[in-house]
Every structure is written in C-alpha cells, then in structure tokens.
C-alpha cells in the first residue's frame, strides 16, 4: 500500500485516476449524481490552491481512494459553512471516496488519518459534510472524533438532500 500526500493539486497521472474514481463513486448509489469526465475534473480542480491538501492511497499501482480539502475561507462553500461553524479559520474536507470494490477494508480510515495528520500541522479545526444517506462516511467521521453540529437541506443537482455538518477540533 502506498499513501501519497500532495500540496496544491494532484499531479498527472494521479489526477486522471482520481477523476475516474470520483465519477464512479459519486454517480453510484446512494448519490446517483451525473458526472462526466469534464465536470468531475472541474469539481476536483476547484479545490486546487497553494494551501490545499490532497491524499491518494494506492494498492498494487491501483488508486483505491482519495480525499482532499482546502482552508474554509478559500472553499466554494465558505458561506454555507459559516452558518454552521463558529470560525472560518479551519480546514474543509471537500471530498473523500474509496473504490467500490475496496469499501469496508479500512481505506477510508487510512485516507482520513493521513489527511487529518497534515491538517493538524497548521489548523485547529477540520470541518466536513456528509449526505444523510452516506452512513459509512458519517460513521467514519464520528469514529475519527468529528462531532455532529447539525443537519440542513442542500441542493444536490436537481434534488434536495439532507446533509450533516461535522467539526473536529485538534
């Protein structure tokens, strides 16, 4: 197993593999969102920033999971986060995903541990969101010390979904 931590962005060809996994993970149940290569690449690149953190886990040269985020103040959803958090000087976990064939094998925990280790070097808090139907992610957040701060409705594509908001203080 290989854990890679990147600053600013995913390098090629890692980005291409992340795009592939992003499309598969976020188009599948329970999300059923519609992603093509261009829209997935744009969604990932919106988090490219000098202060961003990107983590990729590979097994036998196959990407099995990724997560990334950036300072809350630089995130596209800073105003949404502000309604649930007391401060905006923390870090936002934007995305986390594991290959569907590798789920329930501890890779989400490995990804999140590596990500949080990097975040903790500079920030006092990390915030994350999860859809109501993302039970495994919500459980992972709670098991890693995130506290649930509330629930709210948000537009997801053409539908409305409940999201839970989490905060971890270091």
Whose CA is closest to 167, among 113, 133, 130, 118?
A: 130
CA 51/CA 69 separation, integer angstroms: 9
Buried/exposed 65-104: b ≥16 CB within 10 Å, e otherwise: bbbbbbbbebbeeeeebeebbeebebbbbbbbbbbeebee
Phi/psi for 158 (5° steps) reads -100, 10
Lowest mean pLDDT among 67-81, 110-124, 133-147: 67-81
Residues pairing with 168 in the sheet: 126
What was the pLDDT predicted at 76? Answer: 79
What was the pLDDT predicted at 156? Answer: 62
Domain of 17, CATH number, reads: 3.40.630.30
| pTM beyond 0.85 | yes
CA 102/CA 136 separation, integer angstroms: 13
DSSP 126-148: EEEEEETT-HHHHHHHHHTT-EE
| Domains of the chain: total | 1
Whose CA is closest to 96, among 153, 56, 36, 151?
A: 56
Phi/psi for 120 (5° steps) reads -65, -20
Q: pLDDT digits over 2-34, tens only?
A: 999 999 999 999 999 999 999 998 887 666 677
Q: pLDDT digits over 151-169, tens only?
A: 888 776 666 788 898 999 9
**Residue numbers of the domain that contains 100:** 2-169
Q: pLDDT digits over 37-49, tens only?
A: 999 999 999 999 9
Q: pLDDT digits over 59-87, tens only?
A: 998 999 999 999 998 887 777 777 766 66
Q: Percent helix, strand, coil in the chain (nearest 5)?
A: 35, 35, 30
């Amino acid at each position: 197993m290989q854990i890679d931590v990147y600053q600013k962005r995913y390098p090629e060809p890692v980005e291409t593999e992340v795009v592939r996994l992003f499309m598969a993970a976020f188009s599948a149940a329970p999300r059923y969102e519609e992603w093509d290569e261009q829209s997935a690449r744009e969604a990932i690149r919106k988090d490219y920033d000098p202060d961003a953190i990107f983590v990729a886990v590979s097994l036998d040269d196959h990407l099995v999971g990724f997560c990334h985020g950036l300072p809350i103040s630089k995130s596209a959803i800073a105003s949404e986060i502000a309604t649930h958090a007391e401060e905006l000087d923390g870090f936002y976990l934007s995305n986390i995903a594991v290959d569907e064939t590798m789920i329930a094998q501890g890779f989400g925990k490995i990804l999140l541990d590596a990500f949080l280790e990097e975040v903790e070097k500079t920030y006092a808090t990390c915030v994350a969101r999860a859809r109501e139907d993302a039970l495994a992610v919500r459980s992972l957040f709670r098991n890693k010390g995130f506290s649930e701060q509330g629930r709210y409705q948000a537009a997801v594509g053409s539908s409305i979904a409940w999201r839970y908001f989490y905060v971890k203080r270091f």
